[in-house]
Amino acid sequence: MPLQFPSSATVVAALPRALSLSAAAVAAATTTLLLISAVVSRSHHIASSSPPLLPPSASASTTSTQAPAPAPDAEHHHHSPPPPPVPPCPPNATNLVPCHESPSGDRHCPPRPTPPLPHPPKDHPPHPPVPPPPHCRVPPPPGYRPPPPWPVRRERARYANVELPLLPPGKVSEGQDPVRGRGEWLVFAQGKGVRHYVEQLERVVPLRGGVVRTALDIGCGVASFGDYLLNYDVLTMSFAPKNIYGAQVQLALERGLPAMIGGFGAQRLPHPSRSFDMVHCADCLVSWTAHDGLYMLEIDRLVQPGGYWIFSRPPVSWKSAYNISNQAIKDQDNQLAMDDVANKLNWTKLSEMGTTSVWRKPTCHLHCEQESKLLGSLPLCREDPDSAWYANISLCRSCLPRAEPVDACAAGAMEKWPKRLDSVPPRITSGEIKWLSVQAYEHDTLLWEKRVSFYVTYLKYLSNGTYRNTVDMSAGLGGFAAAMSKYPVWVMNVVPANITNNTLGVIYERGLIGTYTDWCEAFSTYPRTYDLIHANGIFSSYIHKCGIIDILVEMDRILRPGGAAIVRDRADVVLKVKKDADRLRWQSQIVDTENGPLDPDKLLIVDNSLPLPGS
């Protein structure tokens, strides 16, 4: 619904004539903003009334109208023609996942050429311009249809929407109900196997009552574990590599469950220290004792103080009776090695239930350095424990930060969920993040409540479960996700690496989840896995690192057909984004923010659920 703006003549005529010089400058700026709004509104009407330019073949998202280039005449013949629409990728690129083809499990993206300086020194000849990378739109597979609304999609997914072959049998426990095929659907059920498994864990781990809120499930299978934990209000990030076992992450996201592609290699997982209240591995095919227990050190970095590490793979309780074999002896050796690393990390073993072991991380690391020397523990890490974007895992122990008073633990205790969402995170109250005050945090929370309330006027399907998987491309303090928590969505809070302040630890302490990324590269997910994208200030932040079209093409890859997006940025930047969004044939319009036409920021509302004009 385009907004109505006054004509520029009316605005100018209404300005007071007896303004001071400073007031006149403000009036001039106001007039400019209104003129921009009027031009944007008029150009949108013209584009909408033009006949649609049909794409050459199926594309990744529902398309929008691209206005045809004006006919050449005496006035316009010297203007360069507008860029052409972005073409579709080849059909075999349906499940394209850049940066995750390495067999090591680590991310690896080919380096992007650095753009030449706009004004090279006079004594050096300018370099020839670097040709831009080819862009194309990832096409959906034949027979693709958007998933059903939440919570129906939790129970079933379409065969046509996911990459087959299917997964191996579920890994949560023996006896878990398998995935069943029923016509065009894959049907999932919360069977007796996963229910019995979680009920066993509940005897040791406080899953109820809000103590455990964020969890990481490594090697997630069909995400049955994370799905069942929703009954406890536990938000689980399912985590698996792109490998021969099938599209586990794609299947989880198709069901509306949080997940991302990744694996254990040389690099840290893209999360800050003290992220998860619980980390879980059920036969996840990770060699935990390899490289002197390197991966267990990474688990120690990720787990909250007092958090839980759950390992399940038969036979874990090697002390119980079972047939002696070479495999049993090997498993016994592995278990002894795991116990040895856990002791060096000062973990407490709470339980050994048949095939499952549960450890708890200490709540305090008092006088870490002294303990390390006296007890022969692992050396302390010197690098920033929250630095996790292309950072290698080190053979060292991440010490919990000191707090005031000196005998305090970590950065302070967190509230239980759901109070945790609205409470000030300990990283702020303790002064660990020195540049962020409590007042600034509380102001940010109120600001995003106001903004999301305004967004709802354009997101007409937000309350009925159509938009479930949401990504906030520059999450800040998590205010957008917190304001969205009243709707049936979950939000992947992304903190751009090396662009903005590292606030991801604050987001996790609010009981939310997220990751680091570089939006000049591909995001760690399959195509068509997000229903809603929010981009606040992304394009102005990256304007000197990569092109607007580079980021938009990646957004188009991960946005499902019929999905929506909101771009929030400076008015001049939004105008540029709109031009490139038209090349992707998105249904979009530029509108004012909640602050009205005088706000220097504008919104680009993308609603690809709208039908094409004339269709």
Taking alpha carbons only, the member of 492, 559, 568, 570 closest to residue 531 is: 559
Mean pLDDT of the chain: 80
Which runs of consecutive H residues, i.e. helices, occur in 230-291? 248-254
List own/partner pairs for 183-186 with CB under 8 A and 24 or more apart: 184/158, 184/159, 184/160, 185/156, 185/157, 185/158, 185/159, 186/156, 186/157, 186/158, 186/159, 186/162, 186/251
- pLDDT at position 56, please? 29
**pLDDT class for 582, splitting at 50, 70, 90?**
very high
Q: How far apart are alpha carbons 194 and 175 in whole angstroms?
A: 8
Does 115 or 206 have the greater pLDDT score?
206
Q: Is the pLDDT of residue 173 over 70?
A: no
B/e letters for 315-346, b = 16+ CB within 10 Å, e = fewer, are bbbbeeeeeeeeeeeebeebbebbbebbebbb
Rg of the chain's alpha carbons, rounded to an integer?
26
**Sign of the torsion formed by the C-alpha atoms of 277, 527, 452 and 460:** negative
Overall average pLDDT of the 558-572 stretch? 97
Ranges 389-403, 476-490, 494-508: which has the least confidence: 389-403
Is 278 a residue whose pLDDT tops 60? yes
Q: What is the pLDDT of residue 22?
A: 44
Does the structure show a pLDDT above 50 at 1?
no
Other beta carbons less than 10 A from residue 80's beta carbon = 6
In this structure, what DSSP letter does residue 91 have?
Answer: G
Q: Would the CATH topology of 152-163+183-363+365-372 be identical to that of 419-607?
A: yes
Architecture per CATH, domain 152-163+183-363+365-372, reads as 3-Layer(aba) Sandwich (3.40)
pLDDT at 402: 62
CA distances from 579 to 40, 162, 309 (A): 11, 32, 49
Cα→Cα distances 112→128, 518, 577, Å = 16, 12, 21
Residue 533: phi, psi to the nearest 5? Answer: -120, 135
Domain ranges in the chain are: 152-163+183-363+365-372, 419-607
Separation CA 315–CA 513 (nearest Å): 32
Tokens for 433, please give them.
Answer: 């993040």
- Please name every residue paired with 351 in a beta bridge, in sequence order, or none if there are none: 358
- Residues present in the chain in total: 615
- The domain made up of 419-607 has a fold known as Rossmann fold (3.40.50)
- Write down the pLDDT at residue 406: 46
Note the pLDDT tens digit of each residue in 412-446: 678 999 999 999 999 999 999 999 999 999 999 99
In this prediction the pTM is 0.83
Name the 3-class secondary structure at 1.
coil
| CB-based contact 496:519 (threshold 8 Å) | yes
d(CA 339, CA 341): 6
Structure tokens at 251: 């299947």
Instruction: State the pLDDT confidence band at 380, using cuts at 50, 70 and 90.
Output: confident
DSSP H or E stretch at residue 157: strand 156-158
Residue ranges of the alpha helices (H) in 50-110? none
**Whether residue 30 has pLDDT greater than 90:** no
> pLDDT tier at 191 (50, 70, 90 boundaries)?
confident
pLDDT of residue 382: 86
